[in-house]
Copies of this chain bind each other. A is one copy, B any other.
């Protein structure tokens, strides 16, 4: 059994830590909301477990607690935002808000972001659009951990992409996925348990497939979605490249192997081609294409049909994208958020350091 905490307890704690490093009240609340949403939705790797990581980057002056986030280039429906090295947790919602405002006026809005940091879960940002009956898009590049097909070098992050759609009687359909075969969070779980990972997730320092979850520490790399050429790893590579170009090359952020590492003990590249990490966010009004009620009725019909698809095993239904996260959220809202002890200990070190109430 893991120690379990209420949402409120963790939220207050997280806000207090952000305030302690100098974030405004508004930014602290927003950043905590993004992390909590991740914990509530069962994506433990992207929630409060990352809080001390953000603090370490702040200590290294790689995260600016008081950023002046601003639009540096725009048209009616496009913009580039400079995050001023702020927390991605606040920079990305700022950018998404601009995308939504543009979509309200012109049907769609698209914002690329440079000079930012890790933005938490993509789904948080994409869902901001869904609440306005828009389709939400969110992606980000990230520290290089993934080797392109045929490469023996980490060139790309797990570069997630998220597409979110408002449904009617069903909850939103949300595709929120790393473009690698396995997300880094899954690898971390295997590292903690010492269990072998499936072949096709990682390669070792020589570029051979391995099931050793620690292979990344000795020059290995995660593999793109598809795992190998025969099974379409060039497609996973292509998707990851798309995320990298829209987030990094289009905005003026770093890209590819130059994306600065999330871990504070690794230094960024000495002569980077851009600023910080990059995101790409978008919103399209559903009623820019057809009436919202028609769209929602048809998406409900889609979901209903897929939920009732014939299955290979009668005990395992087809899972609609976003369903497991929603179930976790319903459960954890009521029953609390379990944290592994190592995370609790890590957070309590922050508590002592900043004079915040311990968990």
- Which A residues form the contact surface with B (CB < 8 A)? 73-80, 105-108, 110, 112, 135, 148-153, 155, 163, 165, 173, 175, 177-179, 181-182, 198, 200-201, 203, 206-208, 225-227, 230-232, 234-239, 241-242, 244-246, 249-252, 255-257, 273-274, 284-286, 288-290, 294-295, 298-299, 301-302, 305-306, 309-313, 316-319, 321
Contacts and interface: CB of A to CB of B under 8 A. Distances in A.
Contact of A309 (B108, B155, B236): B155
Contacts of A79: 288-289
Question: Can you list the 9 inter-chain pairs with the closest CB atoms, starting with the nearest?
Answer: A207-B312, A78-B288, A75-B107, A175-B238, A78-B107, A153-B310, A77-B107, A76-B106, A75-B288
A294 to B, nearest CB: 7
A193 to B, nearest CB: 16
Contact of A75 (B235, B285, B298, B321): B285
A151 B289 contact: no
Candidate in A244, A298, A299 with the most chain B CB atoms within 10 angstroms: A298
Contacts of A151: 309-312, 318
5 contacts: A75-B106, A77-B77, A106-B106, A181-B231, A273-B298
A227 B238 contact: no
Candidate in A110, A206, A252 with the most chain B CB atoms within 10 angstroms: A110
Contacts of A305: 155, 256-257
Contact of A250 (B153, B203, B237, B290): B290
Candidate in A198, A200, A251 with the most chain B CB atoms within 10 angstroms: A200
Contact of A232 (B181, B244, B284): B181
Contacts of A230: 198, 200
A211 to B, nearest CB: 12
Given A77-B106, A152-B312, A225-B225, 12 more contacts: A73-B290, A74-B288, A149-B318, A152-B310, A152-B311, A175-B242, A179-B235, A181-B226, A182-B231, A201-B231, A234-B319, A251-B289
Given A108-B77, A289-B78, A290-B252, A318 B175 contact: no
Given A150-B312, A318-B148, A286 B245 contact: no
B153 A290 contact: no
A80 B287 CA distance: 10
A245 B302 contact: yes
A289 B175 contact: no
A246 B175 CA distance: 13
B318 A249 contact: no
A175 B178 CA distance: 17
Nearest to A245: B165
